Amino acid sequence: MLHAVRSISGPALWANMYLLFWLSIVPFATDWMGESHFHETGPIVLYGFVLLMNAIAYTILVIVLVRHEGERSLLADAIGDDWKGKVSLVCYLLAIGLAWISTYLSLCLYVAVACIWFIPDTRIEKKLADEQYGQ
């Protein structure tokens, strides 16, 4: 995503640091969830909260970069409506709520979001290639 922008602003740097902060908490939440053997609600909720905050931080970074580059920029064109980001936010919110009912349902939603993002998203790469070759 950062390769698709021409310059970086101060707010973009802060948004990137915010994302990196939340990413750094993932190992702690994952470890606590593993120690509970996926049976306790607290660690599952914390894990979902950390993932939700990562998704929010990613969304903030995208918004800041698109605003900096402009609505008709290569990045804005490539990101489009960002359905993966929106679906992730909704799934994480649902999973946090479901943790009080069934931790396994929450874990299924976490895995579903991971599967969505596991499939490579080539929108930005395609736009960069088109721009490079003048298409």
For residue 3, is pLDDT > 80?
A: no
For residue 70, is pLDDT > 90?
A: no
Those residues whose C-beta lies under 8 Å from the C-beta of residue 8, and which sit 6 or more positions away, are 2, 68
Q: What is the mean pLDDT of residues 13-25?
A: 97
Nearest to 64 by CA among 11, 3, 122: 11
How do the domains of the chain map onto residue ranges? 10-132
| pTM for this entry | 0.85
pLDDT for the residue 38: 85
Q: What is the pLDDT of residues 30-39, one digit of tens each?
A: 999 999 888 8
Those residues whose C-beta lies under 8 Å from the C-beta of residue 20, and which sit 6 or more positions away, are none
Distance CA 60, CA 54 (A): 10
